[in-house]
Amino acid sequence: MWINGTVLKRIDWNDKLFSLRIKADIEPFIAGQFIKLSQKRDDKRVARAYSLVNPPGTDYVEVLAVAVEEGLLSPDLQSLAPGDTIEITPKATGFMTLDEIPQGALQGKHLWFLATGTAVGPFISMLATDEPWQRFEKVVLVYGVRLAEDLAYLDTIKLLQQKYPQQFIFIPIVTREAFPDALSCRIPDGISSGLIEQKAGIGINAEYSQVMICGNPGMISDAQTALIEKGLNKNLRRAPGQITVEKYW
């Protein structure tokens, strides 16, 4: 089932990276979930999944995307302008949500978000809700990109730093150029070497940490390995742990 959405705004972060804000009557969702956008091309439907960047309760949906030259949908999405229409699924889905993190003694005190590229989207949605700030003493966003121009939503992140100065820790990672206060390593290497913990001023361990990872499969696999070496375990419903992941493709 598909419904029509109307583009309210397109935000161009650089020549390939963009956000679409869309007016659409979707069902209530949980921060971290995703919807699908779709277009018909030559009578064939092309659909792709995109995490919602906006928090629950807003009267629009927003997605963060990168236009891939050979992509079947993303170049068309990048060409959309306010007033244009796009088909969208009316119900969001996905398990990359704070509901999946164990409660009580298993929860820990520190919540870590590890993201690369557009996979920061679901974490921006979660950070805009009250839940992480009520459940955890410290919330850390580690956001890895190649170039500084690939860092989206920096203004939103800065507002969170102002609102939660004692709770929120932001660690940008830019691997191909210098950027103020940023690390330059891959996220898994930063975990293994201790650089990320040093930058955050808190450690990563099974007693205190819950880690959510979203991004490219290579980063996820290597980051999980680095975290397991630190004594953390994958979080499963039948066996609660400290590592919750979602692959972005």
The strand pairing partners of 182, in sequence order, are none
Kindly tell me the sign of the dihedral angle through the C-alpha atoms of 98, 215, 185, 68.
negative
DSSP annotation string for 160-208:
HHHHSTTTEEEEEEESSS--TT-B-S-HHHHHHHSHHHHHHTS---TTT
> Which pTM was predicted?
0.96
Per-residue tens of pLDDT for the chain, all 249 residues: 899 999 999 999 999 999 999 999 999 999 999 999 999 878 889 999 999 999 999 999 999 999 988 788 998 999 999 999 999 999 999 999 999 999 887 788 999 999 999 999 999 999 999 999 999 999 999 999 999 999 999 999 999 999 999 999 999 999 999 999 999 999 999 999 999 999 999 999 999 999 999 999 999 999 999 999 999 999 988 889 999 998 765
Instruction: Give the separation between CA 237 and CA 101, rounded to whole angstroms.
Output: 9
Do 185 and 194 touch, CB atoms closer than 8 A? no
> In terms of Cα–Cα distance, which of 175, 166, 174, 141 is closest to 156?
141
Kindly tell me the sign of the dihedral angle through the C-alpha atoms of 190, 195, 201, 204.
positive
